[in-house]
């Protein structure tokens, strides 16, 4: 069979589902590739991770089109899972070999699900409570770097045992969905374990509400106490409409010498429009290094400077660019 693939979110980050499908079909002797609209396929797979990604709208010539992924929230597709013979197959890393920055990296999950029920997260609805999923060796493929996409690996005994195994194997790790600051804050032994990890990217946590500030502070103190030395500590910050609240959180993180990364809140159905102020605040935080010398770190000063700059540099019809 001739198989076509569509990464709806764009091909900037490897899509694990498509990599597994690629391995599966290659073992059956099928040909597989990212689609060429000039060709005809037996089956085309559309995979979509993010709800805000626009679905592919170009014409595809195929006998069957199959859609998959959390990005199809609100439809019957949302809770679909891969057949067991594909779900735990080793990914085809050659599929995204053109992304040079991930050369030599393995991708996968040690656990699935999450015990938390954050109102901005679809994971518990799609995957349920935390559960063991895989062993690091299932997808490592003799690689020395692993990008782990678990949503709350520290909440699982299996996950902690896998981290111990990762430490023993001296694998460099990026927990790219972040680690639960509250769990670290309340468990010094976990902070000790994380201090033994070889970090590929910064250690990531989240501070999405004022209630998390105390846990982030205590977790950071414990991690530093035990000598956890990634390149830096990277903190996701959810930005809703209350800019005063998020401004206080980001300033708190900066004073702790942590690196906040602001993300504007998106609802599952994409019905709530992100405001211009949210966009401006995210830019203010995320490109702070560029802005320091020109307008300082004061949000009010940045807002005032931005308003004046736009007014003097753009016509009225250009306002939607920002």
Categorize the per-residue pLDDT at 50 as very low, low, confident or very high, splitting at 50, 70 and 90: confident
pTM, entire model: 0.86
Q: What's the mean per-residue pLDDT of the chain?
A: 88
- Map out the domains of the chain with their CATH numbers: 1-90 (3.40.50), 203-322 (3.30.750)
How far apart, in whole angstroms, are the C-alpha atoms of residue 19 and residue 47?
Answer: 11
In the predicted model, what is the mean pLDDT of residues 124-140?
Answer: 92
Q: pLDDT at position 267, please? A: 76
- When mean pLDDT is compared across 9-18, 53-62, 213-222, 232-241, the lowest value belongs to 53-62
Report CA 108 to chain centroid distance, whole Å.
12
pLDDT in tens, 158-204: 999 999 999 999 999 999 999 999 999 999 999 999 999 999 999 99
- When mean pLDDT is compared across 1-15, 111-125, 286-300, 306-320, the lowest value belongs to 306-320
In the predicted model, what is the mean pLDDT of residues 235-248?
Answer: 90
Categorize the per-residue pLDDT at 126 as very low, low, confident or very high, splitting at 50, 70 and 90: confident
Q: pLDDT at position 305, please? A: 63
In the predicted model, what is the mean pLDDT of residues 36-55?
Answer: 91
Q: pLDDT at position 314, please? A: 40
How far apart, in whole angstroms, are the C-alpha atoms of residue 153 and residue 114?
Answer: 8
pLDDT of 64 above 80: yes
- When mean pLDDT is compared across 21-30, 230-239, 273-282, the lowest value belongs to 273-282
Categorize the per-residue pLDDT at 125 as very low, low, confident or very high, splitting at 50, 70 and 90: confident
Q: pLDDT at position 52, please? A: 80
Outline where DSSP puts E strands in 134-257: 145-148, 172-175, 198-199, 203-206, 233-239
Of 127, 92, 90, 95, the residue nearest 112 (C-alpha): 127
Q: pLDDT at position 288, please? A: 65
pLDDT in tens, 288-303: 655 444 445 567 666 6
Q: pLDDT at position 322, please? A: 33
How far apart, in whole angstroms, are the C-alpha atoms of residue 166 and residue 169?
Answer: 5
In the predicted model, what is the mean pLDDT of residues 93-105?
Answer: 95
Collapsed DSSP state (helix, strand, coil) of residue 154: helix
Q: pLDDT at position 195, please? A: 97
pLDDT in tens, 253-293: 989 999 999 999 887 776 778 888 898 888 888 876 554 44
In degrees rounded to 5, what are phi and psi of residue 121? -125, 135
In the predicted model, what is the mean pLDDT of residues 131-140?
Answer: 96
């Amino acid at each position: 069979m001739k198989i076509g693939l569509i990464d709806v979110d764009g091909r900037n980050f490897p899509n694990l589902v498509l990599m597994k499908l690629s391995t599966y079909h290659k073992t059956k002797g099928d040909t597989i590739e990212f689609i060429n609209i000039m060709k005809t396929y037996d089956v085309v797979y559309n995979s979509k991770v993010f709800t805000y990604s626009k679905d592919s709208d170009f014409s595809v010539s195929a006998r069957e089109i199959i859609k998959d992924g959390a990005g199809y929230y609100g439809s019957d597709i949302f809770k679909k899972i891969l057949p067991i013979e594909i779900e735990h197959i080793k990914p085809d890393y050659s599929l995204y070999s053109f992304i040079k920055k991930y050369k030599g990296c393995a991708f996968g999950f040690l656990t699935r699900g999450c015990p938390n029920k954050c109102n901005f997260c679809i994971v518990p609805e799609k995957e349920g409570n935390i559960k063991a999923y895989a062993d690091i060796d299932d997808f490592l493929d003799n690689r020395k770097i692993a990008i782990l996409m678990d949503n709350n690996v520290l909440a699982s005994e299996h996950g902690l045992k896998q981290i111990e195994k990762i430490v023993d194997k001296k694998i460099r790790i990026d927990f790219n969905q972040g680690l639960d600051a509250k769990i670290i804050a309340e468990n010094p032994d976990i902070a000790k374990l994380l201090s033994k990890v070889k970090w590929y990217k910064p250690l990531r946590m989240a501070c999405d509400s004022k209630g998390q500030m105390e846990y982030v502070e205590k977790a950071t103190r414990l991690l530093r106490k035990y000598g956890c030395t990634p390149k830096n500590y990277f903190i996701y910050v959810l930005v809703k409409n209350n800019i005063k609240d998020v401004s206080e959180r980001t300033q708190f993180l900066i004073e702790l010498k942590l690196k906040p990364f602001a993300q504007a809140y998106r609802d599952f159905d994409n019905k709530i429009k992100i405001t211009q102020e949210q966009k401006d605040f995210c830019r203010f935080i995320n490109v702070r290094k560029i802005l320091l010398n020109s307008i300082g770190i004061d949000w009010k000063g940045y807002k005032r400077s931005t308003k004046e700059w736009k007014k003097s540099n753009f016509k009225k019809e250009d306002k939607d660019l920002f």
